[in-house]
């Protein structure tokens, strides 16, 4: 669905326009490494409901999937352990007062709590963090900012973006590939090592996940940043890991360029027979794989096209670099 924008011209004598000055480097370090990702969310996310004594628990006003629990009886809670402790301390006559956040709205509700065999049952499925896999896109050696994924991380049940309280990227080794086929996107399986941390996640946005690289900066080749107007139809390549920590370059063909999209700027087709043989097409865990054209880093893989998995989308690298610097 196309969005229409209307520009209003104001007849005033002086117009002061704020602008951002971006300090990202002209040359950045290529990613391509497989990474583990963990984010602890701000607040506790409600992702579903279960029956207690044959019925679903409900608050007044009614609680919805995607709501965040931020307080119990006016006591701030940020983790599931804090939530359970606060409920045990503050339950009154089988009820507890919750303060919830829904989009930009804050409201309170009373939730019925059932004591079943000495265990309090809320009827709520909740989550306070999320873990997954991705591919590191870049490290800016000047600012130590890193970027990955090229798209936001959402909680799958609620379809809500995870707000970052704390988070990290860390070492992982690819152990298995489940191949893509038309109508079904495959995935990387990996062994995660959360003890070997590479960087601190600071934000999860529409344009990717960003933070500060805290490990030693790799002593590897720098790539020139390619601007959107330099991206051309034709041959390019991506860097990604399919086994253990072994990163390889694979050929693609850029088939379409869209400068008006937020993140689906580059449409490409995988043409490398080695990659197609191993993955069947674009797979989950490949998000963030850097796209190289004419020896410049121009973008990152973001999505598979589900009905034609040999094809995918990518975001312009400059969009990620600019987003990574925003406060």
Number of CB atoms found within 10 A of residue 92's CB: 10
38 is catalytic: no
Q: Which of 158, 172, 287, 289 is catalytic?
A: 287
What distance in Å separates the CA atoms of residue 120 and residue 246, rounded to the nearest whole number? 48
* CB distance 217 to 231 below 8 Å: no
303 is catalytic: no
Closest to 42 (Cα-Cα) out of 125, 147, 130: 130
What distance in Å separates the CA atoms of residue 37 and residue 78, rounded to the nearest whole number? 19
308 is catalytic: no
Place of tokens 């506790």: 44
Chain centroid to Cα 60, Å, comes to: 32
Chain centroid to Cα 138, Å, comes to: 15
Q: Which of 41, 151, 172, 289 is catalytic?
A: 151
Chain centroid to Cα 316, Å, comes to: 16
Token pair listed for 221: 């080749």
Which residues are catalytic, by number?
Answer: 151, 272, 287
């Amino acid at each position: 669905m196309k969005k229409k924008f209307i520009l209003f011209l104001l007849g005033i004598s002086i117009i002061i326009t704020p602008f951002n000055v971006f300090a990202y480097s002209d040359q950045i370090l290529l990613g391509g490494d497989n990474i583990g990702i963990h984010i602890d969310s701000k607040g506790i996310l409600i992702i579903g409901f279960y029956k207690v004594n044959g019925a679903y628990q409900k608050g007044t006003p009614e609680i919805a999937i995607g709501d965040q629990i931020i307080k119990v009886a006016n006591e701030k809670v940020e983790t599931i352990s804090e939530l359970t402790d606060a409920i045990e301390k503050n339950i009154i006559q089988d009820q507890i007062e919750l303060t919830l956040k829904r989009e930009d709205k804050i409201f309170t509700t009373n939730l019925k709590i059932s004591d079943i065999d000495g265990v309090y049952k809320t009827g709520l499925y909740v989550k306070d963090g999320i873990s997954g896999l991705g591919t590191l896109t870049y490290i800016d050696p000047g600012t130590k900012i890193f970027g990955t994924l090229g798209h936001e991380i959402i909680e799958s049940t609620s379809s809500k973006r995870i707000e970052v309280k704390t988070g990290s990227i860390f070492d992982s080794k690819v152990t298995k590939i489940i191949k893509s086929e038309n109508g079904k996107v495959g995935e990387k399986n990996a062994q995660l090592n959360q003890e070997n941390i590479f960087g601190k996640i600071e934000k999860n946005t529409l344009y990717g996940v960003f933070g500060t690289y805290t490990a030693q900066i790799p002593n590897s080749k720098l790539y020139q940043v390619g601007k959107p107007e330099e991206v051309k139809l034709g041959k390019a390549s991506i860097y990604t890991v399919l086994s253990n920590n072994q990163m390889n370059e694979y050929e693609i063909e850029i088939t379409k360029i869209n400068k008006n999209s937020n993140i689906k700027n580059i449409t490409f087709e995988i043409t490398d027979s080695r990659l197609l043989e191993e993955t069947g097409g674009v797979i989950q865990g490949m998000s963030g794989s850097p796209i190289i054209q004419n020896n410049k880093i121009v973008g990152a893989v973001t999505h598979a096209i589900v009905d034609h998995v040999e094809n995918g989308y990518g975001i312009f690298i400059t969009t990620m670099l600019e987003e990574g610097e925003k406060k």
